Amino acid sequence: MFSWLYVTTPNADEAASIARTIVGERLAACANVFPTMSSFYWWDGEVQQDSESVLILKTRTELVPTVTERVGALHSYSCPCVVALPITAGNPAYLEWLAAETTEPTPG
């Protein structure tokens, strides 16, 4: 199985830096950066509005905990958004590529 991770970052440079590291470490096969979006969220007891960037990572489902931990270590936010969504279907050739380009998780 495979998952799609949605991550928000404060800017495109940080998203690209995280993407380069995660893909370079073969924790994800592919990353996409959407440079600008508007975010509205509760923080410190009030609604905030900011410009953020979106980072999408495609990986093996069993790597999600490792990727989430690694993103947290690389991220500037104290509580980064890292949300995993299952990939339930897709181009079989693409999914085979995704498997081939990510590392096998280590046991235990």
| Under 8 Å between Cβ of 41 and 48 | yes
Q: Grade residue 104 by pLDDT with cuts at 50, 70 and 90.
A: confident
Q: Count CB-CB contacts under 10 A for residue 44.
A: 5
> CA 105, CA 108: separation in Å to the nearest integer?
9
Sketch the domain layout of the chain as residue ranges.
2-40+49-100
- CATH architecture, range 2-40+49-100: 2-Layer Sandwich (3.30)
Q: What is the mean pLDDT of residues 16-41?
A: 97
40-84 per-position pLDDT tens digit: 999 999 999 999 999 999 999 999 999 999 999 999 999 999 999
Using DSSP, how many helices (H) and how many strands (E) does the chain show? 3, 4
> How many Cβ atoms sit within 10 Å of the Cβ of residue 4?
19
Residue 108 has what pLDDT?
Answer: 54
Spatial separation of the C-alpha atoms in residues 12 and 35, rounded to whole Å: 5
Cα(39)–Cα(103) distance, integer angstroms = 33
Letter for the amino acid at 20?
Answer: R
- pTM listed for this prediction: 0.92
